[in-house]
Amino acid sequence: MARAAVSGRLAARLRWQAAALVERREESPTARTLVFDLPGWAGHLPGQHVDVRLTAEDGYSTQRSYSIASAPDADRVELTVQRVPDGEVSPYLADDLRVGDAVEIRGPVGGWFVWRPEQAEPVLLVAGGSGVVPLMSMIRVRDMIGSRVPFRLLYSVRDPADRLYGPELDRGAPGLDTTWVYTRGTPDGWTRPAGRLTPDDLVRWGWPADFEPTCYVCGPTGFVEAAAGMLVALGHHPDRIRTERFGPSGG
């Protein structure tokens, strides 16, 4: 089995580990993907996250959780950071951390909001804004291992400039259908008017409940509550809906 199926650990307790930034990529005007070097990284399941700890010279320290965006890759982990204005951590990570600088990382952690490659059922991914990050890891792992499990992604963003991973999603992959939902402004000639995700979107571009897909919903709290509620109303069993909400981390 590919490294993607390795959960990373069985019995060892996790420790904080130094991780140096090796590359930074711009994903949108406000989001950056950070590539960290993590020697001995044992792999992760798509959907898992890491805790990132920053310590200042005077000893002040704070930590945040970030979803992993990448598929497992020896000694490399990619996070995508959305800059929050006046945030304490995200502006530093997005703009100030320089290649070669180190943070501390603990992970991978989380065993609930994950896709395991041995799952055979269809998958519905519903993303609001930067909630696409852990779902992108699922898409990338599916691609990496050559899985034939059908994936559908509904990705809600304000306008085209807010798209993360746009070129990669536009290239697509066999068995992956991506539908963009624009809430404020659409590209020219777009047939769906700008507006929030509706039950009709989920009927047209998602899976029928009869197919018993596993649904992964990630985004801001209001988006997740609304989307999960619509899926239940459309007949999806709550046990097959997995959610991850953005929290008030202080950025």
Give the pairing type, strands 61-67 and 31-37. unpaired
Is 10 a binder of another protein (CB under 8 A)?
Answer: yes
Q: Which of 36, 43, 72, 113 binds another protein (CB under 8 A)?
A: 113
CB of 160 to another protein, least distance (A): 18
Is 147 a binder of another protein (CB under 8 A)?
Answer: no
Is 168 a binder of another protein (CB under 8 A)?
Answer: no
CB of 205 to another protein, least distance (A): 22
- Please report the DSSP string for the chain in residue order: --GGG--S-SSPPP--EEEEEEEEEEEETTEEEEEEE-TT-----TT-EEEEEEE-TTS-EEEEEEEB-SPPBTTEEEEEEEPPTT-SSHHIIIII--TT-EEEEEEEE-SSS---TT--S-EEEEEEGGGHHHHHHHHHHHHHTT----EEEEEEESSGGG-SSHHHHHH-BTTEEEEEEESS---TT-SSPS----HHHHHHHS--GGG--EEEEEESHHHHHHHHHHHHHTT--GGGEEEEE------
Contact pattern for another protein over residues 21 through 40, marking x by CB under 8 A: ----------x---------
Complex with another protein: residue 123 or 217, whichever CB lies closer: 217
CB of 164 to another protein, least distance (A): 9
Q: Which of 46, 134, 206, 213 binds another protein (CB under 8 A)?
A: 134
CB of 91 to another protein, least distance (A): 9
Write b or e for each residue in 57-69: b if 16 or more Cβ atoms lie within 10 A of its Cβ, otherwise e.
eeeeeebbebbbb
Per CB under 8 A, contacts with another protein among 200-229 are 218, 220-221
Per CB under 8 A, contacts with another protein among 46-75 are 48-51, 53-67
Is 109 a binder of another protein (CB under 8 A)?
Answer: yes
Pick the piece of the chain touching another protein (CB under 8 A) from 70-78, 138-146, 188-196, 241-249.
Answer: 241-249
CB of 44 to another protein, least distance (A): 12
Q: Which of 71, 77, 103, 125 binds another protein (CB under 8 A)?
A: 103
Complex with another protein: residue 84 or 234, whichever CB lies closer: 84
